[in-house]
Amino acid sequence: MVKHIVFFKLTSVGNNYAKEIELKQMEEIFSALPLKLKFIQEYRTGKNFTITDHAWDFVIDSTFINREDLQKYQVSTEHRDAVQKASHIEKTKAIIDYEY
């Protein structure tokens, strides 16, 4: 099994209201992917509730059978479309992929 976790930190948000709107957009964009890509084994998105400078704002936590399925996900039209739809939201990201 392969775990693929992506953390996002929003970088241009001026206030909490604007941040919540952008986080909701991220959730709407990415949470639809497992409905479209049946080879995803598990898929969760989440908004952080801890308020601290070193906390990230949003996470995608997904599981695949193998590296090949992860690769199919990353290059799929559906994933690339989601990334494009979220491109207007300024953010940094961190990724970890591991086998277990």
What's the pLDDT tens digit per position in 48-72?
Answer: 999 898 999 999 999 999 999 999 9
Residue 90 has pLDDT above 80, yes or no: yes
Q: What is the pLDDT of residues 17-40, one digit of tens each?
A: 999 999 999 999 999 999 999 999
What pLDDT is stored for residue 16 in this prediction? 87
- The total of structural domains in the chain comes to 1
Domain containing 52: what range?
Answer: 2-99
What pLDDT is stored for residue 14 in this prediction? 77
* DSSP state at residue 48: -
Q: How is residue 81 written in tokens?
A: 């479309």
CA distances (Å), origin 50, targets 1, 57, 77: 29, 9, 33
* Average predicted confidence (pLDDT) for the chain: 96
Residue 13 has pLDDT above 80, yes or no: no
Residue 73 has pLDDT above 90, yes or no: yes
Domain of residue 20, CATH code: 3.30.70.100
Q: Are 57 and 2 in contact (CB under 8 A)?
A: no
